[in-house]
């Protein structure tokens, strides 16, 4: 298993770099330049290419090997970073990002989304059922470590290193990762895909994937489980910046420190799953803890706006605010690892479920075209497409509040906005009672 997890960890680490760059570094820089919370939140729209993974996921499955797609997309990310190194982050007198930088960041997300499809395909093929807990721990931990390095790490280093040098380092990292994707023994041993004579997959066949037991419930859960948490994580650091916390402190605490806590939470989630904890009872417990942590953060925000409240060095409020950031990321990492394990468990049910459905059609004398025919009739293809569907919905749920949180705070005010986010974080707990037994 070590031979599988080490290359996966390295590749998921570099996959987290674009997210950290755009969620940790850019919002703080733009807010420090005086942009409104609404405009800062709208920069999350740069993640839009991730929402269309299902468009090219079948192409990755049907044309060439996932390993080749992984190597090419990772090398392309290095090229985009090399181009970004030659451009300034903002022109003199400009309130936002230059159009060329925006275009390259969109390309960066497009390449990262293709890389994500290829890497998830390899992970589903590579990991045995008993390896899902450790495998998903590695996935979440490595991704968040990459995010922390590109977000908080770069924010802390920006006064020392120039913008071009930072992106040249990122480019070199991607090119090394592309070489690893091609040379890793565990990935080279995977069987090569066989040419298929069947018609290509289309979105028309999503209805077949949705019939897999537990899929509709899982889709609803991943759309909603991060709404409150994601909105709070987007806003709280920027509100601390407004109240006098320095960008360097936010880079260290919200970027490096909080992500370290998130990684610790992910490790704990994997360890609990490895010890045979049942998935849904564990998920309910960690969601309850997360709700309590967000309630404490909301109370801190209310107190922050009272007369005499100070975030100065050495104050209790400052320590409580920074501790709140770390606690929320710790609980978020725990929730994410358990949720991703449930997603992958649901996707591994897809081939057998669709084969049963096809058999039922045949025995009833119905035409036997189904998603198993329309794809390649290989279990790995069905699993990868099913998992891409769930992963896309999970991202959509996170982006909804990431984009809109700033506008909500500007229109409702921080207090009412955080009260709304706290209410949203209670919904997954209620929804959990409707979970099917197939996901236990």
In sequence order, what DSSP letters do the residues of 133-168 get, joined into one string? HHHHHHHHHHHHHHHHIIIIIHHHHTTTS-HHHHHH
Q: Which pLDDT score, from 0 to 100, does residue 280 have?
A: 86
Rounded (to 5) percent helix, strand, coil in the chain: 80, 0, 20
Instruction: Identify the domain containing residue 132 by its residue range.
Output: 2-439
Cβ atoms within 10 Å, residue 397: 20
> pTM to 2 decimals?
0.69
Question: Helices marked H in 85-131 — which ranges?
Answer: 99-126
* CATH number where 374 lies: 1.20.1250.20
pLDDT of residue 199: 45
Find the angle CA(245)-CA(246)-CA(250) to the nearest 5 degrees: 85
Token digits for 7?
Answer: 């290359």
Task: Output phi, psi for 65, to 5 deg.
Answer: -90, 155
For residue 378, the SS3 value is: coil
Task: Give the single-character DSSP code of 434.
Answer: G
Q: Work out the number of other CB atoms within 10 angstroms of the CB of residue 62.
A: 16
Number of domains into which the chain is organized: 1
pLDDT for 78 equals: 92
pLDDT by residue for the chain (440 residues), tens digit each?
Answer: 566 778 788 888 888 888 888 877 778 777 777 778 887 887 888 888 888 777 766 676 666 677 788 888 899 999 999 998 887 665 544 556 677 888 888 898 888 888 888 887 777 777 666 666 677 677 777 887 888 777 777 766 766 777 788 788 889 989 998 888 887 776 666 555 554 444 444 445 666 777 777 888 999 999 999 989 988 988 888 888 888 777 777 777 777 777 788 888 888 888 888 886 788 889 999 999 999 999 999 998 888 877 777 777 777 888 888 888 889 989 998 998 889 888 888 887 766 555 545 444 444 444 433 444 444 445 556 776 778 788 888 888 888 888 888 888 999 998 999 999 999 999 999 998 888 876 66
pLDDT value at position 238?
85
d(C-alpha 115, C-alpha 186), whole Å:
18
Nearest partner of 48 among 334, 399, 294, 383, judged by Cα: 399
- The CA-CA-CA angle for residues 93, 99, 104, to 5°, reads 130
**296 burial class (0-12, 13-18, 19+ CB within 10 angstroms)?**
middle
Q: How is residue 373 written in tokens?
A: 């025919």
pLDDT value, residue 353:
53
Angle of CA points 376, 379, 384, to nearest 5°? 90
User: N- to C-terminal Cα distance for the chain?
Assistant: 24
pLDDT given at position 393: 87
Query: Dihedral, CA atoms, 85, 91, 94, 98, nearest 10 degrees?
Result: -40
Tokens of 192: 């090569």
């Amino acid at each position: 298993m070590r031979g599988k997890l080490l290359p996966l960890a390295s590749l998921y680490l570099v996959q987290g770099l674009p997210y950290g760059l755009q969620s940790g570094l850019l919002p703080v820089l733009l807010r420090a330049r005086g942009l409104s919370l609404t405009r800062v939140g709208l920069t999350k729209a740069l993640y839009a290419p991730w929402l269309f993974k299902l468009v090219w996921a079948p192409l990755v499955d049907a044309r060439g090997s996932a390993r080749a797609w992984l190597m090419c997309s990772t090398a392309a990310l290095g090229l985009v970073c090399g181009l970004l190194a030659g451009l300034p982050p903002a022109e003199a007198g400009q309130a936002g990002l230059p159009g060329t930088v925006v275009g390259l960041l969109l390309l960066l997300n497009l390449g990262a989304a293709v890389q994500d499809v290829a890497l998830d395909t390899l992970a589903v093929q590579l990991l045995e059922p008993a390896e899902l807990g450790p495998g998903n721990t590695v996935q979440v931990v490595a991704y968040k470590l990459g995010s922390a390095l590109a977000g908080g790490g770069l924010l802390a280093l920006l006064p020392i290193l120039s913008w071009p040098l930072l992106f040249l380092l990122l480019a070199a990292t991607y090119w090394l990762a592309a070489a690893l994707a091609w040379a890793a023994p565990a990935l080279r041993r995977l069987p090569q895909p066989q040419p298929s004579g069947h018609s290509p997959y289309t979105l028309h066949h999503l209805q077949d994937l949705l019939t897999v037991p537990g899929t509709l419930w899982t889709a609803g859960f991943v759309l909603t489980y991060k709404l409150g948490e994601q909105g709070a994580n987007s806003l709280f650091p920027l509100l601390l910046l407004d109240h006098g916390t320095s960008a360097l402190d936010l880079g260290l605490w919200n970027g490096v420190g909080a992500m370290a806590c998130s990684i610790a939470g992910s490790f704990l989630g994997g360890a609990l799953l490895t010890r045979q904890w049942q998935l849904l009872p564990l998920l309910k417990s960690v969601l309850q803890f997360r709700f309590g942590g967000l309630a404490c953060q909301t109370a801190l925000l209310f107190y922050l706006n009272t007369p005499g409240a100070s975030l100065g060095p050495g104050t209790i409020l400052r320590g409580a605010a920074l501790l709140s950031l770390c606690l929320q990321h710790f609980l978020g990492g725990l929730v994410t690892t358990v949720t991703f394990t449930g997603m992958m468990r649901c996707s591994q049910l897809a081939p057998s479920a669709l084969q049963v459905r096809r058999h039922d059609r045949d025995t009833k004398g119905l035409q036997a075209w189904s998603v198993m025919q329309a794809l390649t009739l290989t279990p790995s293809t069905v699993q990868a497409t099913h998992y891409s569907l769930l992963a896309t919905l999970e991202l959509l749920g996170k982006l909804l509040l990431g984009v809109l949180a700033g506008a909500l705070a500007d229109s409702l005010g921080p207090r009412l906005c955080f009260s709304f986010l706290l209410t949203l974080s209670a919904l997954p707990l209620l929804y959990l009672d409707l979970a099917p037994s197939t996901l236990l």
